[in-house]
A and B are shown apart, each in its own frame.
Chain A
Amino acid sequence: MRVREAIRVENLHYRYPDGTYALKGVSLCVGEGESVAIVGPNGAGKTTLLLHFNGILRGSGKVFVFGEEVTSRNLLAVRKLVGLVFQDPDDQLFMPTVLEDVAFGPLNLGLSQEEAVKRAINALEMVGMSYAANKSPHQLSFGERKRVAIATVLAMEPKVLVLDEPTANLDPRSRRQLLSLLRRLEVTKIVATHDLDAALFLCDKAILMDDGQIVAIGETREIFSDEALMEAHGLEVPPSILALQSRSD
């Protein structure tokens, strides 16, 4: 059976108002239930690409979400399907308390107060943060804020979860907790990251970007093992793969 496609991008170009040419003809397809890593050096256009998946930015070219083209008319429907978790949780969490923040999305979906609270508590439980429901985000540690930021999106029950640098600035334990949490979630995942080991752990498929273009698409391990390719684009073969290679030699 053919997998239904969750997101398809065709020949996408985007230029920022200041003239920076961030995306130069990107095309890709992500199937439902897949986990895809987007890797590449700083300034490759990863974040810009992510912002197109739910219509925050609109470049020239086409973006399809579950077969429907993103237009200015169906933006809300698209944002219901595609949840975006920003890199800095302080950008994501803006309400005075955690519970209010997590309930913000569900309320925007038009749910009743009771339903929104139920979803919020449920989402907080999924990320193991229900103890902080009545706290203010500034009372939480960075790792806790990160998990709450993910809960704010989970509460909207999206079909596609898009994460920008989920493991950045986390200590090893918080990183590990977050990764196993993400792996447990049974939704389509698209993860932009520099953390190659995290990408190996979470994603079967990887997309390598550089200078606004896609350089390679393929199986994560295969792409990450290609030393020449990785080094040509500001990355390196992750030590975990190197260790495996030296053992098999």
Chain B
Amino acid sequence: MNLYLLQHPQSWLSNLDGRTKLAVFFVYVLAVLSTKPGAYLTWLSLTGLLLVLLALARLQIRWIVFRLAPVLPFAALGAFGVLLGGSKEMFLQVTVKMLLCVGAAVWLSGTTPFTQLLEAFRKLKVPPLLTVMLSFMFRYLFVLAEEAVRMSRAYQSRCPRRQTLKDAETIGRLAGALMLRTYNRAERIYLAMLSRGFTGEFRTLSVQKLTFADIAFLAFFVGSVTVILVATH
């Protein structure tokens, strides 16, 4: 499992509440989406703001580029559209907005561990069903992936030849077996939860607290965005 994807360098931002960082993210994305076509100065200022945020987070440049890479095929598709006679303005606008929004998401995921995000969601009254599902997914994705890897190794050890399309049936059966195992595991997890007094209501720890630093940071950030939007209008 590539834990490289889950890197969270320590920075001043690490101590902020997940809710603050989530709010910063949404404010930024909304600001980017609200810009009109050809608002070059606004885009430039917003890019500067994002760079400041990324610098504060002490994220490695290599890591940022790595996380931004999945956007490139879409940008390429847009460029192809321009070749076919699409509008250049449109292409530029879509590409810039896409890069900035994904950049903000990269910032969020690089400063806020998933557990903090979940807690923030819970405190912002996101329906428990959703947060609990996300929480289980985060916990068992790795377990499931390891199980799949083990099964595939066992399969390949007994199938030392080049795989053809005919093997699809066997691989389908493997996937079915994996699903059954997952189902059984879910049952055992539930029994273990019952053993610990689970009654249906999900009670969780509250670890993070909003502090003065959170309010100050958020206020400063919203202020900067407003100034950028108004000044470059």
Total A-B pairs, Cβ < 8 A? 88
Nearest CB of B to A107, in Å: 4
Inter-chain contact B195/A79, CB cutoff 8 Å: yes
Tell me if B206 is interfacial: C-beta within 8 Å of chain A.
yes
Of A84-92, A171-179, A207-215, the stretch lying at the interface with chain B is A84-92
Interface residue range, chain A: 35 or more
Q: How far is the CA of A109 from the CA of B199 in the complex (A)?
A: 10
Q: How far is the CA of A192 from the CA of B142 in the complex (A)?
A: 29
Inter-chain contact B197/A100, CB cutoff 8 Å: no
In the complex, which residues of chain B have a beta carbon less than 8 angstroms from the beta carbon of A113? 205-206
Inter-chain contact A104/B139, CB cutoff 8 Å: no
Tell me if B179 is interfacial: C-beta within 8 Å of chain A.
no
Nearest CB of A to B14, in Å: 12
Given contacts A80-B197, A95-B135, contact A108 B203 (CB under 8 A): yes
A88 to chain B: closest residue by CB = B188
Inter-chain contact B115/A96, CB cutoff 8 Å: yes
Inter-chain contact A109/B197, CB cutoff 8 Å: yes
Given contacts A86-B188, A108-B198, A156-B196, contact A94 B139 (CB under 8 A): yes
Q: How far is the CA of A92 from the CA of B138 in the complex (A)?
A: 15
Tell me if B180 is interfacial: C-beta within 8 Å of chain A.
no
B142 to chain A: closest residue by CB = A138
Inter-chain contact B199/A108, CB cutoff 8 Å: yes
A57 to chain B: closest residue by CB = B191
Inter-chain contact B195/A83, CB cutoff 8 Å: yes
Given contacts A95-B135, A96-B118, contact A56 B205 (CB under 8 A): no
Inter-chain contact A76/B188, CB cutoff 8 Å: no
Per the 8 Å Cβ criterion, residues 69-103 of A in contact with B are 76, 79-80, 83-84, 86, 88, 90-97, 99-100, 103
Tell me if B192 is interfacial: C-beta within 8 Å of chain A.
yes
Q: How far is the CA of A138 from the CA of B136 in the complex (A)?
A: 13
B contacts with A, residue count (CB < 8 A)? 29
Per the 8 Å Cβ criterion, residues 6-32 of B in contact with A are none
Given contacts A96-B114, A138-B142, contact A117 B205 (CB under 8 A): yes
Tell me if A54 is interfacial: C-beta within 8 Å of chain B.
yes
Per the 8 Å Cβ criterion, residues 152-192 of B in contact with A are 185, 188-189, 191-192
In the complex, which residues of chain A have a beta carbon less than 8 angstroms from the beta carbon of B143? 90, 138
Nearest CB of A to B139, in Å: 6
Inter-chain contact B115/A97, CB cutoff 8 Å: yes
Binary contact track A151-168/B, C-beta < 8 Å → 1, others 0: 011001000000000000
In the complex, which residues of chain B have a beta carbon less than 8 angstroms from the beta carbon of A99? 205, 207
In the complex, which residues of chain A have a beta carbon less than 8 angstroms from the beta carbon of B195? 54, 56, 79, 83-84, 86, 153
Tell me if B193 is interfacial: C-beta within 8 Å of chain A.
yes
Q: How far is the CA of A152 from the CA of B205 in the complex (A)?
A: 14
Given contacts A94-B136, A108-B198, contact A86 B118 (CB under 8 A): no
Tell me if B149 is interfacial: C-beta within 8 Å of chain A.
no
In the complex, which residues of chain B have a beta carbon less than 8 angstroms from the beta carbon of A137? 139
Tell me if B194 is interfacial: C-beta within 8 Å of chain A.
yes
Inter-chain contact B203/A56, CB cutoff 8 Å: no
Q: How far is the CA of A79 from the CA of B196 in the complex (A)?
A: 7
In the complex, which residues of chain A have a beta carbon less than 8 angstroms from the beta carbon of B135? 95-96
Tell me if B2 is interfacial: C-beta within 8 Å of chain A.
no
Per the 8 Å Cβ criterion, residues 88-147 of A in contact with B are 88, 90-97, 99-100, 103-105, 107-109, 113, 116-117, 136-139
Given contacts A99-B205, A100-B204, contact A105 B185 (CB under 8 A): no
Inter-chain contact B197/A108, CB cutoff 8 Å: yes
Inter-chain contact B139/A138, CB cutoff 8 Å: yes
In the complex, which residues of chain B have a beta carbon less than 8 angstroms from the beta carbon of A96? 114-115, 118, 135, 138-139
In the complex, which residues of chain B have a beta carbon less than 8 angstroms from the beta carbon of A237? none
Inter-chain contact B189/A94, CB cutoff 8 Å: yes
B203 to chain A: closest residue by CB = A107
Given contacts A97-B115, A107-B205, A113-B205, contact A76 B197 (CB under 8 A): yes
Inter-chain contact B115/A76, CB cutoff 8 Å: no
